[in-house]
Amino acid sequence: MFGLIRNSLLLLTLLICANARGAAEISVLGPQVGEAERQAYFEHILLSALQLAKGKYADASIEHVPYTDAARGGMIRLIQQGVIDVYWTATSRERERKMLPVRLPLMQGLLGYRVSIVHRDSIEILKQPGTDLKALTACQVRFWPDTDILLSNEFNVASVNDFHKNFELTYKKRCDFFPRAIFEGKTDLAMARTSYPELALFDDVMLYYPYPLYFFTAHENRQLNAEIARGLELMISSGELRQLLEKNTMTKHLFPLTQWQSKRIIQLNNPLLPEATPLDDARLWIRF
């Protein structure tokens, strides 16, 4: 009897170890300070897509690689070297050359709609129909693609290396407006006003450029990429991705979309956009 119990325990131990070895782990960068909510949204989509794909990564778990200042701007290198498996970011020609995209926009195009952080003294001027934003100065982070997009559309841009410096420059009126994604503006303003209470959110006039945010993997990691794509397609077809946008605390205040009908939207070109971007697939985009 003792031998039977011992053998059963040994078999159980081996099964547990085998399952532990077989469970895939997906490495991603851990959240930056203040980005836990945003991180949770993308990780939820990633795991949901992999579960729906029912492939090798169906039971995967997330492993966080700590985000440090050394990682800033080096995400592509981390993907190429296999330090992380998946990265989510806005696309560009350069990024699609160096990483393999899953060409299904995770924010359904909302990243391209831009409201602005402004000094409250500037609101009345910005509201005037004759105000030309190109004659003013926009703040932006130097290494973000947004800077190149604005410059290519003949905007004046004051670019800085530090994200938080944009709020200071806007407060000091060295910038007239700091464009942020429509779902980021409210949160950014709440953070910035602890130091600069004179700042305000301006959304009467918005910028728009096609700016899809994708999951990326290394070019060599094609199976993971394919499973993410297969699961995401199912989430889009069922309406699950749209429901996440409508219920998630990061984006739910944007709905119903009728609240944006009276806004003036300035259409810009995105010269960084790869030709393979699925702009004609209406399922993938929210249009105001």
DSSP labels, 197-249: TTEEEEEEEEEE----EEEEE-TT-HHHHHHHHHHHHHHHHHTHHHHHHHHST
Q: Which residue type sits at 223?
A: Q
pLDDT confidence of residue 288: 86
Question: Within a domain: residue 170?
Answer: yes
The answer on 119 and 93 residing in a single domain is no
Kindly provide the b/e burial profile for residues 45-54, where b requires at least 16 CB atoms within 10 angstroms of the residue's own CB: bbbbbbbbbe
Question: Within a domain: residue 154?
Answer: yes
pLDDT confidence of residue 7: 40
3-state DSSP: the chain helix, strand, coil percent, rounded to 5? 45, 20, 35
Low-confidence ranges of the chain (pLDDT < 70): 1-23, 69-73
Question: Within a domain: residue 285?
Answer: no
Q: Where among 208, 241, 269 does a domain terminate?
A: 208
pLDDT confidence of residue 70: 53
The answer on 117 and 100 residing in a single domain is no
pLDDT confidence of residue 37: 87
Which backbone phi and psi does 119 adopt, to 5 degrees? -75, 140
Task: Quote the CA–CA distance of 43 and 84 in Å, as a whole number.
Answer: 13
The answer on 231 and 97 residing in a single domain is yes
Per-residue pLDDT tens digits for 90-116: 999 999 999 999 999 999 999 999 999
pLDDT confidence of residue 10: 34
| Domain range enclosing 138 | 112-208
Q: How many CB atoms lie within 10 A of CB 257?
A: 11
The answer on 201 and 122 residing in a single domain is yes
pLDDT confidence of residue 68: 76
Q: What is the CATH number of the domain that holds 231?
A: 3.40.190.10
pLDDT confidence of residue 41: 95
Query: Domain total for the chain?
Result: 2
pLDDT confidence of residue 8: 42
The two structure tokens encoding residue 181 = 């994604």
